[in-house]
Amino acid sequence: MKLFIYHTPELTPPDPLPDCAVVIDVLRATSTIATALKVGAEAVQTFSSLEELIEAGKQWPTEKRLLAGERGGAKVEGCDLGNSPLDCTPELMADKRLFLTTTNGTRALQRVKLANSVITAAMINRRAAVQYLLEKQPETVWLVGSGWEGGYSLEDTVCAGAIADLLVQTENVTVGNDEVIAAIALYQQWQDNLLELFEKASHGQRLLRLNGSEDLKYCATLDSLDILPIQKEPSVLVKW
Ligand code: MLT
């Protein structure tokens, strides 16, 4: 298995696409996707634009869908939900399709949606993502961070490092780029203080200003959810 890390969608090469792309947006899109599927959502369909989301939502029975929109960390007016994983309760999500657009995470998914397989990972389901890779043995794997508007983000890189760290302990992994070594070092430095790292991160600080401290705590709990979101058709994620 040859492993590459790209910090943002912009830094991710357009081709040739890998056998498996792992999209990471710890704060908070991939934490929300994992949680929604865990509590019973039928699927999560992602959009980079709000207009496309609204149009697609109209084609779906109202009682079977929820519209979730986030920009700049805040809920988009007119949507049922923002992007907090803590809003994903079984009562709300059961058997519904979550239509989701976020500032960066859903753009990262768009970038690699044509790869052979696409899964999503966050701290909360890191082990489930690694188990999938160990079972499927894809030859090339890209860990794709979402970053923030084209820039690097600590929380996505530390999650990529957490995945790479566990993989290299169990598998004969070939390091594809220097980012892998740097991300593992970041994870090893912070593995016992993930919440503190998230509170230092620029997007963590943005969420704290928006009263998101409970979201940060939840998103920092390593391996707490046994669920793997996998793309079943471009932009539609279901439980593996
Ligand atoms: C994003 O896509 O940028 C995020 O998930 C933002 C957030 O809701 O915290």
- For 217-239, the DSSP string reads HHHT-TT-----EEEEETTEEEE
- As a whole number, mean pLDDT of residues 222-228 equals 98
- Contact assessment for residue 41 and residue 98, using Cβ atoms and an 8 Å cutoff: yes
- Tell me the CA distances in angstroms from 77 to 67, 69, 74, 82, 176, one per residue in order: 11, 8, 9, 9, 42
Question: Ligand 1 pocket, 29 CB below 6 A?
Answer: yes
Alpha helices in 59-177 (DSSP H): 90-93, 105-112, 126-136, 154-170
Question: Ligand 1 pocket, 27 CB below 6 A?
Answer: yes
User: What's the pTM value of the predicted model, to 2 decimals?
Assistant: 0.98
171 C-alpha vs ligand 1 centroid, how far in Å?
A: 31
**Which secondary-structure segment (H or E) carries 69?**
strand 65-71
> 16-44, pLDDT tens digit by residue?
999 999 999 999 999 999 999 999 999 99
Question: Ligand 1 pocket, 102 CB below 6 A?
Answer: yes
Does residue 57 surpass a pLDDT of 90?
A: yes
What is the rounded (10 degree) CA torsion for 215, 221, 222, 226?
-80
Q: What are phi and psi of 62, to 5 degrees?
A: -55, -40
pLDDT at 101: 98
pLDDT at 85: 98
Share of the chain above pLDDT 90, in %: 99
- As a whole number, mean pLDDT of residues 51-62 equals 96
Question: Ligand 1 pocket, 140 CB below 6 A?
Answer: no
Cα separation, 131 vs 145, whole angstroms:
19
Cβ neighbors of 74 (< 8 A, separation 6 or more) are 82, 210
204 C-alpha vs ligand 1 centroid, how far in Å?
A: 10
pLDDT at 30: 98
pLDDT at 208: 98
> 173-205, pLDDT tens digit by residue?
999 999 999 999 999 999 999 999 999 999 999
Does residue 9 surpass a pLDDT of 90?
A: yes
Name the DSSP letter for residue 76.
Answer: P
Q: Kindly give the pairing relationship between strand 43-47 and strand 97-101.
A: parallel
Q: Count how many residues are written for the chain.
A: 240
Confidence of residue 153 (pLDDT cuts 50, 70, 90): very high
Residues forming a β-bridge with 143 = 5, 22
Residue 77 vs residue 171, higher pLDDT: 77
Confidence of residue 77 (pLDDT cuts 50, 70, 90): very high
Cα separation, 98 vs 30, whole angstroms:
13
Structure tokens at 135: 């079972």
3-state secondary structure of 120: strand
> 108-139, pLDDT tens digit by residue?
999 999 999 999 999 999 999 999 999 999 99
Q: What is the mean pLDDT of the chain?
A: 97
225 C-alpha vs ligand 1 centroid, how far in Å?
A: 19
Confidence of residue 171 (pLDDT cuts 50, 70, 90): confident
By C-alpha distance, which of 32, 133, 39 is closest to 94?
39
Cα separation, 51 vs 25, whole angstroms:
22
103 C-alpha vs ligand 1 centroid, how far in Å?
A: 6
Alpha helices in 39-81 (DSSP H): 50-58
